[in-house]
């Protein structure tokens, strides 16, 4: 019988984190930005078939970067959880906070338990009832949960995007201005033009289900 080599926990965690970070850095990033009537989610995505941004519940949207199959697994689990809660209790009992916590626990568990951590980072946006201070959550590959305000970025270029949005974002922007700010943030962070956009909004004007994908014509072409 072979005895496994002893690896110090610090070393193990460091290696896993480095592995996950490398995987995420290979993919393209996503930003979520508050605007006058809701939240805009903007992703650089050359594919029109594979979505990175999608609807979870009436007022909640999901976005994921990294390995597609991994964040897709998480997205579907999130939709199942949300629909179950809403059906068993009430639609009002489904909150981004509850879902974000569940995502954080899941990612944290996978990070410590599984030999290979998920190479993915996710974002949850929730439209607030009164139209101000929408909730934005970011969950990293190791299950760390961040509660953000006004704008947030995930993916390999998250830091650069956040820095750029800090200069470009202002309160009460229109959707067009928010799209322009998001696109400009990508331009600054990546140092090149985008290869294609995927965009969606959570907007009160859409009725009970506030999520709506933007048509290609509504997004400024690079």
Partner 1 sequence: MIDRPSGPLPIDAPVPGSSFTDLLESIGAAPAISVPEGASIPSAPEGTTVLALRYEGGVVMAGDRRATEGHLVAHRRIRKVFPADKYSAVAIAGTAGLAIDMVRLFQVELEHYEKIEGVRLSLEGKASFLARLVRSQLPMAFQGLVVVPLFAGFDERDDEGKVYTFDVVGGRYEEIEFGSTGSGSRLARSYLRTVYEQGLSGEEAAAFAVRALVSAAVEDTATGGPDLRRGILPNVVRIDQDGVEELSDSVIGPIAETAVETIR
Q: Applying CB under 8 A, which residues contact partner 1? A: 51, 54-56, 73-74, 76-81, 83-88, 102-103, 105-106, 109, 209
Collect all residues with Cβ–Cβ distance below 8 Å to 162 and sequence separation of at least 6: 151, 152, 153
Nearest to 28 by CA among 64, 82, 54, 78: 64
Nearest distance from C-beta of residue 54 to partner 1, angstroms: 7
Measured from the CB atom, is 116 or 149 closer to partner 1? 116
Which residue has 């970025």 as its token pair?
A: 153
Nearest to 82 by CA among 71, 97, 72: 97
Q: Which two tokens stand for residue 34?
A: 């508050």
Measured from the CB atom, is 122 or 189 closer to partner 1? 122
β-partners of residue 55 are 61
66: left (phi over 0), alpha (psi -120 to 50) or beta: left
Measured from the CB atom, is 149 or 209 closer to partner 1? 209
Nearest distance from C-beta of residue 192 to partner 1, angstroms: 29
Nearest distance from C-beta of residue 66 to partner 1, angstroms: 15
Decide: 149 and 136 in contact? Cβ < 8 Å: yes
Nearest distance from C-beta of residue 75 to partner 1, angstroms: 9
Nearest distance from C-beta of residue 74 to partner 1, angstroms: 7
Decide: 197 and 45 in contact? Cβ < 8 Å: yes
Longest CA–CA separation in the chain, Å: 66
Measured from the CB atom, is 83 or 160 closer to partner 1? 83
Measured from the CB atom, is 81 or 140 closer to partner 1? 81
CA distance 39 to 202: 5
Measured from the CB atom, is 12 or 84 closer to partner 1? 84
Nearest distance from C-beta of residue 85 to partner 1, angstroms: 6
């Amino acid at each position: 019988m072979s005895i496994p080599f002893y690896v110090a926990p610090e070393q193990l965690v460091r290696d896993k984190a480095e592995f996950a970070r490398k995987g995420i850095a290979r993919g393209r990033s996503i930003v979520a930005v508050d605007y006058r009537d809701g939240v805009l989610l903007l992703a650089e995505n050359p594919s029109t078939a594979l979505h990175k941004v999608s609807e979870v519940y009436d007022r909640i949207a999901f976005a994921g970067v990294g390995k597609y199959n991994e964040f897709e697994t998480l997205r579907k689990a999130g939709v199942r959880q949300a629909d179950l809660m809403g059906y068993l209790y009430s639609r009002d009992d489904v909150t981004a906070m509850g879902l974000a916590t569940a995502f954080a626990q899941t990612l944290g568990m996978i990070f410590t338990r599984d030999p290979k951590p998920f190479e993915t980072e996710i974002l949850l946006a929730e439209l607030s009832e009164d139209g101000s201070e929408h909730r934005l959550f970011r969950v990293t590959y190791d299950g760390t949960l961040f509660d953000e305000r006004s704008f947030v970025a995930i993916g390999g270029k998250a830091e650069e995007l956040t820095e750029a949005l800090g200069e470009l974002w202002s309160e009460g922007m229109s959707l067009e201005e928010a799209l322009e700010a998001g696109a400009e943030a990508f331009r600054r962070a990546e140092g090149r033009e985008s290869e294609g956009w995927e965009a969606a909004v959570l907007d009160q004007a859409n009725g009970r289900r506030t999520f709506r994908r933007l048509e290609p014509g509504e997004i400024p072409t690079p």
